[in-house]
Amino acid sequence: MFIAIAYSMKPSQLSLGLFVTVLYGVYPFSVLSQLTTGPMIEAIAPEHQKGLAQGLNNGVMNFVMAVAPIILGLIKENLVLMQTCVIFCVLAMAANAPLMRYPQLMWTSDPNAPLHTDHEEDMATDEELIKRAEAGEWIPAKELDRINMDRFDKGEQLLRIPYGSYAKDAPFLGKLRKRARTDFLFFKEETEQWIDQMKEPAAREAAIKSMKESRPPQDYIDHQKKELGEWFTDYLTDNGYMVENDPTPFKMMIMNAFPPLPKDPTADTLVLFMTKMLKVMNTHIQLGEGEKSSLSLLSQTAPHLGTKLAAGKDKSKAE
């Protein structure tokens, strides 16, 4: 655009004023387009290669910025110089066009989430929510708790959601993560309220009695255990884990993700049970907030690495 204006108008104060106005009005967009390459690489590069990708991007940009002015300065004809710049601008647009195929670069929302259905459960009636839960569909934990409290007061069987198959959830793992975080935040708030209410022994006794009465039959528990195991192992194999290898590391990872809780809590251990469960929920809420970028990790690691290197040098000198 700058070149077209400069080439199509005769030298005058008007042409100079128009050129300068367009130059400084549009130039910030050119700067922003260069700054977006970092977040774009962060969005599409594998986690273990983000540092390499960012380094290559910065290296290429710095090299071109250093060499391009020298090459363009060798072109003596103004017309040829302008035509060269126009050609490179068109080539740059063509080279960037395929990036529009990446949904991660087009929208800030979760690409796994179907459009306009992030909160479809808010518009559902209780009957529709119950049907979804019985079919293995997610409904907010807050709504499930409300429905079950009403059922409990009426002496009815509690509503429970089956795990279902991993194949059904696999296309929407991003949405599942978002929903789980919503449920965790509700559970956290509710658990904190329960802990505050469990100060008196009578309240703890009543809570234990309610917990025992609300548990489903053993055959249903066994069925849920089977579905959970299949979902978990299908997730592992679909995400690159080789479950046929040494089982000990897998067992350790499971134990780390699920630290032990007091088994069959009593009135004496109920508050401890809730406190430990709250700690587990806080851990997973923090994990659900997103992984740290490679740049932030590098910025945190660099001071420690520098300290270690300095200490190593001092030790070598001492020796």
Q: What is the pLDDT of residues 115-135, one digit of tens each?
A: 334 455 555 788 888 888 888
Q: What is the pLDDT of residues 65-112, one digit of tens each?
A: 888 888 888 887 777 877 787 888 888 888 878 877 766 566 544 544
CA 168 and chain centroid, separation: 20
Q: What is the pLDDT of residues 25-43, one digit of tens each?
A: 877 777 777 777 777 777 7
What is the Cα–Cα distance from 74 to 161, expressed in whole angstroms?
A: 71
For every residue of 59-104, DSSP letters joined together read HHHHHHHHHHHHHHHT---HHHHHHHHHHHHHHHHHHHGGGGG-HH
